[in-house]
Amino acid sequence: MQADSQPTASEPSTRTPYCVGQWMPSDQAVLNTWLEKIHARAEDQTGPLLPAVQQLKTLIETDATAYMVFAQMFDQVPARRKKSPSGLPQVRDYEHMLRLFNVIMTEAPEYNDTGVVGFPFNAILDWSMDTVGGWAGFLNDKVNAHLRAMLNEWAVFLRSPQSTQVLNDKPPSGWFCPDALKHMPHFAEEFQCDPAKPHYGFTSWDDFFTRRFRDGVRPVAAPDDDAVIVNACESAPYRLADNVQARDKFWIKAQPYALQFMMDNDPLAGEFAGGTVYQAFLSALSYHRWHASVSGRIVKTRLIPGTYYSETLAEGADPAGPNDSQGYIAELATRALIYIQADNPAIGLMCFMPVGMAEVSTCDITVYEGQHVQKGDELGMFHFGGSTHCLFFRPGVNLKFDLHGQKPGLDSNNIPVRSRIATVLRG
């Protein structure tokens, strides 16, 4: 395996920006202001919790393990973090957390010039995630089942007409205000929409976030050359690793990949032992549909339920969490597998794996087993946002990667979807 960006394997950058992919504001004061607003609304709410939030409360108060970890994760936040730099109190306990969740359940993310609060639940849990209690709690199957139910209910709101309230041109928080459009230049020319219609023609927040490019905006690189592999998502290179093992200590600082766990003990996982994994992440402003990197037949698809807010303790405090834990969550988080038998025998069986991060965890597969796809065809999408994804290649597939002059890591920039990212070298 070769990479035009020099390294054949790369660890994440040692300098982690607060706002990776613009999912959280780069300006702490902006996050404080948002939290202050949510805190105030939670204090004003005295009515019952929404059913999905109440069900999580019931679990915490009736399950000994859940009660213990949700008590610990807030008690273990260091004293120096009990208040933010602006003096705003942080989440006090699980009851306070649930009240804050209750507010968010009927709100769509607003635009912010320094980065949206695109992970609102994550923002509330941010300081408790890297405690021992948080680490244990967010690995708990019962806890994750209830988080999944709650986030699914939020997704119902994000698909409703009411969620279009943020799709307006009013500064500073409307998604079509002048500041927002500076970060999404040529939006109307690139995406299927109608600026003359209310909300640009989008019917919900989810409709806006899963928007499609207009025909021809992202052409397929070398469509007739099956040696050229294209980018599956509008994404930034995170890591490139070869000789990946079936099992490894993925929770340690280096977060090495462990194929058996990434693929959830799938019988096909053994095909990729000793092979290559390429991982890349999406930003809040990215296009969120997935596309086939190669032409071939869909051999198998799977959805794997998993964690939502678990991050590796080895990274310590991760203010943009779980961005520093992208290697780790590839083994644990909610994800999908799409195996493709490439038409090019020099590639053979390969696999695409979208991975949910925090509340961005709905993996929607739109292809079926036995279907033949052409390079660049749509495979599915993330609902509400982006996350991260991996491409798997078997050992012996000789790849020359083209990362567009970049070194993989958290400081990299998006490579357009359907652009060349690698070439298979014959012989």
Could you tell me whether strands 289-291 and 378-383 are parallel, antiparallel, or unpaired per DSSP bridges?
A: antiparallel
Q: What is the pLDDT of residue 18?
A: 35
| DSSP secondary structure, 51-85, as one string | HHHHHHHHHHHH-HHHHHHHHHHHHTS-GGGSB-T
Weakest mean pLDDT among 153-167, 200-214, 228-242, 373-387: 373-387
Is the pLDDT score of 210 beyond 50?
yes
Select the more confidently predicted residue: 76 or 340.
340
Is the pLDDT score of 232 beyond 50?
yes
Q: Note the residue count of the chain.
A: 427
Select the more confidently predicted residue: 27 or 286.
286
Q: What is the pLDDT of residue 88?
A: 47
Q: What is the pLDDT of residue 426?
A: 82
Tokens matching residue 52:
């999905």
Task: Quote the distance between the C-alpha of residue 19 and its chain's center.
Answer: 14
Q: What is the pLDDT of residue 364?
A: 94
Q: What is the pLDDT of residue 319?
A: 52
Tell me how far apart the alpha carbons of residues 22 and 322 are, in angstroms, rounded to a whole number: 13
Taking Cα atoms as reference points, which of 162, 190, 164, 160 lies closest to residue 175? 164
Q: What is the pLDDT of residue 116?
A: 46
Q: What is the pLDDT of residue 82?
A: 52
424 CB contacts (<8 Å, ≥6 apart)? Answer: 227, 229, 344, 346, 347, 397, 398, 399
91 band by pLDDT with thresholds 50, 70 and 90: confident
The tens digit of pLDDT for each residue in 316-325 reads: 665 554 677 8
118-147 average pLDDT score: 86
Is the pLDDT score of 17 beyond 80?
no
Tell me how far apart the alpha carbons of residues 251 and 272 are, in angstroms, rounded to a whole number: 20
| DSSP secondary structure, 381-406, as one string | EEESS--EEEEEE-TT--EEE--TT-
Q: What is the pLDDT of residue 407?
A: 94
293-318 average pLDDT score: 88
- Within 10 angstroms of residue 305's Cβ, the number of other Cβ atoms is 15
Task: Quote the distance between the C-alpha of residue 230 and its chain's center.
Answer: 20
Is the pLDDT score of 285 beyond 60?
yes
| DSSP secondary structure, 316-340, as one string | ---TTTTGGGHHHHHHHBSEEEEEE
Q: What is the pLDDT of residue 339?
A: 98
Is the pLDDT score of 3 beyond 60?
no
Is the pLDDT score of 89 beyond 80?
no
Query: Are 334 and 361 contacting, i.e. CB atoms less than 8 angstroms apart?
Result: yes
Tell me how far apart the alpha carbons of residues 325 and 312 are, in angstroms, rounded to a whole number: 6
| Mean pLDDT, all residues of the chain | 86
Q: Measuring CA to CA, how many Å separate 237 from each of 95, 138, 277, 295, 413?
A: 39, 27, 11, 22, 7
Q: What is the pLDDT of residue 34?
A: 62
Is the pLDDT score of 240 beyond 50?
yes
The tens digit of pLDDT for each residue in 144-186 reads: 999 999 999 999 999 999 999 999 999 988 999 998 898 888 9
Q: What is the pLDDT of residue 111?
A: 84
Q: Measuring CA to CA, how many Å separate 403 from each of 97, 124, 222, 237, 239?
A: 41, 35, 16, 7, 11
Q: What is the pLDDT of residue 78?
A: 74
The tens digit of pLDDT for each residue in 384-416 reads: 755 899 999 999 999 999 999 999 998 899 999
Tell me how far apart the alpha carbons of residues 385 and 408 are, in angstroms, rounded to a whole number: 21
Q: What is the pLDDT of residue 205?
A: 93
**C-alpha count within 13 angstroms, C-beta hemisphere, residue 61:** 10
Q: What is the pLDDT of residue 369?
A: 98
Query: E strand or H helix at 2, and its extent?
Result: strand 2-3
Is the pLDDT score of 96 beyond 70?
yes
87 CB contacts (<8 Å, ≥6 apart)? Answer: none
| DSSP secondary structure, 8-59, as one string | SS-PPPSS--SSSTTSS-SSHHHHHHHHHHHHHHHHH--SPPPHHHHHHHHH
